[in-house]
Structure 1
């Protein structure tokens, strides 16, 4: 019943299902501890959340979601007079730092890319196409125009390389990942069903009528899939390109490699995707620079 009330609050089906799993996991914990709702205290909630971190290595955002689900459930139970005291009122988790503007963390991107398959056959076909677009945007940092103009001949599945024609008709060859390859292969199984012809000059992404998708259609489908995943963000192709660059730089530190993959002629352009952690920067400086290292003061 409490889930129906959450549905009234315009929560997506995906979010509702996640909330239901979170609450069920907590109720299972209570049953194992021989706790009734009336006996649950804030300390029990802390123990439960600590257990989730230990068992599943949950990120702060996932813990917040778990607590939010339990809080909503307890609030519903309190309003229905199933318990007299809501222990979640006394429990607050430290909020994770918000991502910089225009940036999604890795977990959020994965939530979008790894969302479950729809139930309806037509929606499944749309998802297979849309997922392959999302995977390429994030896997290779493509611009919207580069994705839209991609042809069958531009994909080398064996070496997992894309031949991209970017701004100024400049051509570059960039890699794409295993997940993107798997998604593309699944999508191309649907391709002919939609009237597409797998010829070298055929567009990779087409509509149900067999026509090449327009940039506007691609933008709309990207937004649709973010909403279906329960992610409250205005997702667009350039944001996924931004995430690709930022996550690659964060994990590799190789600015020139990222510059090559993005197709930037100027390294300065690539540097706008670099989000500097000043504490880390100061630590590296102190450890590496000979004039920054601390030495015991010599006695005169």
Structure 2
């Protein structure tokens, strides 16, 4: 993306820089989301300026719905999935809306753009007994006292108990854990703070980590970070993903998954246990109830499978 961005004419390059500042400072989006949005806009503006002898002074002149459709058609021709096309269309609409508000574009062409909807599918989830097996196994490893094993057990317990995102887990500080109320204070998307509860198993695992294992890895650079890497710095998402993948591998019959799979498992098990959608929405930090409603499909499909196997009049 860096080479494509540098290849843009100066006006378009400056426009992208201003848009990036808006995403970071005013929208408070994560670094990953900002990079994705900016990359899509760089692609769009590169398409707009392709073959032009002279760049317009504002970097976006001539950007209309026809250009947007042609750009997406080109993406489709390159074999990109419906999900990718939907994301890039959303990024384009966000950009043109901003450009119109700031006076760069006289109208908002993105408002007229219709793109294919992404197939919204959920990753596989663990069955409750598989989740218990995973946590029991990691707890056994932690029982031997190795600080990394103690850390891994604590983060697995918290991921499943609280259904937090991997970025939220990595951003936790020690004082974000309130043991008296058994809640964690997490900073979610858009810098929105919420409190998430956890149970006694997660409490025990966190206490063991904070009161024992953490000091074995902590260095001067650790600061207040709750979970640490082997060099004492705040743990990064790649390490957490590796820990989850390795833990899931030890569970017979479990679908391979990362931290997001544990989050989905937690939400599914809550709904199957009788939790209402609004409560699960608040726990997960979803902006809309529609996102949380995806889980009802999982639970209904599972109930149908159980019904088909067990009800005498199912067949």
| TM-score, normalisation: structure 1 | 0.55
Q: Which has the higher contact order (CA 8 A, sep 6+)?
A: 1
Alignment match, 1:260: 282
2:240 matched to 1:195? no
Is the Cα–Cα contact under 8 Å of residues 218 and 228 in structure 2 kept in the other structure? no
Alignment map for 1:271-286 (pairs within 5 Å): 271-274=293-296, 275-277=298-300
Q: Give the gaps of 5 or more residues in structure 1.
A: 1-99, 282-300
Is the Cα–Cα contact under 8 Å of residues 186 and 196 in structure 2 kept in the other structure? yes
Alignment map for 1:140-151 (pairs within 5 Å): 140-151=162-173
Is the Cα–Cα contact under 8 Å of residues 142 and 149 in structure 2 kept in the other structure? no
Residue among 146, 154, 160 paired with 2:176: 154
How far apart are residue 128 of structure 1 and its match? 1.2
Partner SS for 2:226: coil
Alignment match, 2:292: 270
Alignment match, 1:245: 267
| TM-score, normalisation: structure 2 | 0.52
2:155 matched to 1:133? yes
Q: Give the gaps of 5 or more residues in structure 2.
A: 1-121, 305-315
* Structure 1 residues 271 and 196: alpha-carbon distance in aligned structure 2, compared to 1, 3 A threshold: farther
Alignment map for 1:57-206 (pairs within 5 Å): 102-115=124-137, 117-118=140-141, 124-188=146-210, 189-196=212-219, 202-206=224-228
* Structure 1 residues 196 and 256: alpha-carbon distance in aligned structure 2, compared to 1, 3 A threshold: farther
How far apart are residue 205 of structure 1 and its match? 0.7
Is the Cα–Cα contact under 8 Å of residues 142 and 153 in structure 2 kept in the other structure? no
* Structure 1 residues 118 and 262: alpha-carbon distance in aligned structure 2, compared to 1, 3 A threshold: closer
Give CA deviations for 1:135-181 in whole Å, capped at 9, x if unaligned. 11110000010001011121101110111100000011111111100
* Structure 1 residues 167 and 101: alpha-carbon distance in aligned structure 2, compared to 1, 3 A threshold: closer
Give CA deviations for 1:20-72 in whole Å, capped at 9, x if unaligned. xxxxxxxxxxxxxxxxxxxxxxxxxxxxxxxxxxxxxxxxxxxxxxxxxxxxx
Aligned residues: 180
How far apart are residue 117 of structure 1 and its match? 2.4
How far apart are residue 195 of structure 1 and its match? 2.3
* Structure 1 residues 120 and 105: alpha-carbon distance in aligned structure 2, compared to 1, 3 A threshold: closer
| Larger Rg, first or second structure (1 or 2) | 1
Query: In 1, Cα distance between the equivalents of 2:125 and 2:262?
Result: 9
